[in-house]
Amino acid sequence: MRRVNPIVVGVALLGAGVYALFTPFFQSGLWLLGASLMTLVGALVVAVEIIEALPPHWSKSKLWAVSKAKKSAEQFEDGAAAHQRGDYPAAVRLWRPLAEQGVAEVQRNLGLMYENGRSVPQDYAEAAKWFRVAAEQGHAVSQTNLGYMYENGLGVPQDYAEAKTWYWKAAEQGDADAEFNLGVAYENGQGVRQDYAESVKWYRKAAEQGDAKAQHNLGGMYRDGHGVAQDLAEAVMWYRKAAEQGDARAQNNLGVMYDNGKGVSLDDAEAVKWYRMAAKQGIADAQYSLGLMYDTGEGVPQDHAEAVKWYRMATEQGFANAQTNLGYMYDKGRGVMQDIAEAVKWYRMAAEQGFPQAQYNIGFMYANDRGVPQDDAAAYMWFTLADEQGFGEAQKSREIVAKRMTPDQIAEAQRMAREWMAKHQQP
């Protein structure tokens, strides 16, 4: 019988430890597969060293254990390779026996296959089952996955408190996604009492691990003074960290800070730069803001056609501000051929969403026989709705229209306004 070689064991454990240490910073699928594989290989090396040191009369058991460990590692590696090349049926076939033997990393991978419907029918209940068995072994990422299933009612009854329980278990192990999700829960009061300070605590933990979502949200807490003293410069710092990782919401918000000179010196060109990055990722607010910069010539040469392009992109996502501005471009023929009927269409879409500028504009169109037949009752109704939201010119315009109306017509317009407000009242 020989002694365990401490150098071999140390190197194996160091390799696994490096992956365990840095995995929270790299959450890509390939890295996680690599981490899992390194953990298994490290465990195999350690097991072989220990088994080799056993007494000779244990040789049969030693050979069986080594063989089984090697086979499991090879099977996991083959499954990982199949998954990487997109051969999901082979990955499931290779991983399922390991999952049934209780290998937590593989149980989590199998859960993901069922959650996403890769080579198996999408089955949230089956996904939750595999996440649970791994989570109950203390597998942090699986605990986060199971919390997500409870938060969204996927395969299990929706239960925010249960989601928080699993997020907490994973967060206590340093899982950045769980820390972020706990931050969201405390910010919104889902499954817990709303507590901005506690939200900031968890966002910060995830943010300091490099989680872009948490960095963005932590920036928002500093911007709004929720759970921390308001600090716009600190907000900018966290927005920048997230924006530089490609987080589109952070890019948009960093653009807003430069656009308004909050936490940084006002810089229209820098605002345009960040708006453009976010706009290209499909953020409607950024598309609208970039259109506005082109419309007014701030930070870029004035270009109405380019403004129309970005306004239109935002309108396709139902963004009311952009619908109003696109309607105005058609109304005045800026960047497009003048088309009053098209202007009315966009004004109406925004007005129906409750946007006061658009409500005033559509009221003006009805009052002046512009793109629609003159209808003083409709004009009165829309002016009333805009005035209810404090839109400055609406009251005066309604009074002008009222002078042309009979008492019965005014009563009818008021009834129409009440019905619209009742129909669109926020729950």
Q: What b/e sequence results for 38-58 when a residue is b if at least 16 CB atoms lie within 10 Å of its CB, and e otherwise?
A: bbbbbbbbbbbbebeeeeeee
3-state secondary structure at position 51: helix
Listed in sequence order, the residues at least 6 apart from 245 whose beta carbon sits closer than 8 Å to its beta carbon are 210, 212, 215
Average pLDDT over the chain, rounded to an integer: 87
Q: What is the pLDDT of residues 402-420, one digit of tens each?
A: 999 999 999 999 999 999 9
Q: What is the pLDDT of residues 256-307, one digit of tens each?
A: 999 999 999 999 999 999 999 999 999 999 999 999 999 999 999 999 999 9
Calculate the alpha carbon distances from 352 to 308, 357, 398 in Å. Answer: 21, 11, 19
> What would the mean pLDDT of 94-106 be, rounded to a whole number?
89
Long-range Cβ contact pairs of 295-299 (< 8 A, separation 24 or more):
295/325, 295/334, 298/268, 298/271, 298/272, 299/267, 299/268, 299/269, 299/270, 299/271, 299/272
CA atoms of 415 and 408, how far apart (whole Å): 11
CA atoms of 365 and 338, how far apart (whole Å): 15
CA atoms of 86 and 81, how far apart (whole Å): 9
Percent of the chain with pLDDT over 90: 73
Listed in sequence order, the residues at least 6 apart from 268 whose beta carbon sits closer than 8 Å to its beta carbon are 258, 259, 293, 298, 299
pLDDT computed for residue 31 by the predictor: 46
Q: What is the pLDDT of residues 165-216, one digit of tens each?
A: 999 999 999 999 999 999 999 999 999 999 999 999 999 999 999 999 999 9
CA atoms of 74 and 310, how far apart (whole Å): 52
Is pLDDT at 8 greater than 50 in this prediction?
A: no
Handedness of CA 387, 392, 396, 397 (dihedral sign): negative
Cα 139 vs. chain centroid, distance in angstroms? 24
Supply the DSSP symbol for 58. Answer: G
CB neighbourhood size of 236 (10 A): 21
Calculate the alpha carbon distances from 321 to 291, 298, 313, 353, 397 in Å. Answer: 11, 18, 12, 10, 21
What does 223-283 look like in DSSP terms, one character per residue?
HHTSSS---HHHHHHHHHHHHTTT-HHHHHHHHHHHHHTSSS---HHHHHHHHHHHHHTT-
Tell me, what amino acid is at 159?
D
Six-digit token string for 7: 């150098």
Is pLDDT at 72 greater than 90 in this prediction?
A: no
Six-digit token string for 297: 């010539």
pLDDT computed for residue 84 by the predictor: 82
Q: 42, 45, 38: which is closest to 23 by C-alpha?
A: 38
Residue bearing the bigger pLDDT, 87 or 43? 87
Q: 284, 293, 231, 288: which is closest to 262 by C-alpha?
A: 231
> What would the mean pLDDT of 210-230 be, rounded to a whole number?
98
Q: What is the pLDDT of residues 264-274, one digit of tens each?
A: 999 999 999 99
Q: Residue 85 — very low, low, confident or very high, per pLDDT cuts 50/70/90?
A: confident
What residue has token string 């019988």?
1
Is pLDDT at 89 greater than 60 in this prediction?
A: yes
Q: Residue 76 — very low, low, confident or very high, per pLDDT cuts 50/70/90?
A: confident
Supply the DSSP symbol for 23. Answer: G
> What would the mean pLDDT of 70-94 be, rounded to a whole number?
81
Q: 187 and 217 in contact (C-beta within 8 Å)?
A: yes
Euclidean distance between the first and final Cα of the chain, in Å? 76
Q: 271 and 293 in contact (C-beta within 8 Å)?
A: yes
CB neighbourhood size of 130 (10 A): 25
Q: Where are the alpha helices (DSSP H) in 316-423?
A: 320-332, 340-352, 356-367, 376-388, 394-402, 407-423
Q: How is the chain split into domains, by residue range?
A: 340-427
**φ, ψ (nearest 5 deg) of residue 163:** -60, -45
pLDDT computed for residue 359 by the predictor: 97
Angle, CA 72 vertex, CA 90 and CA 46 arms, to 5° = 145
Q: 146 and 135 in contact (C-beta within 8 Å)?
A: yes
Q: Residue 3 — very low, low, confident or very high, per pLDDT cuts 50/70/90?
A: low
Q: What is the pLDDT of residues 384-405, one digit of tens each?
A: 999 999 999 999 999 999 999 9
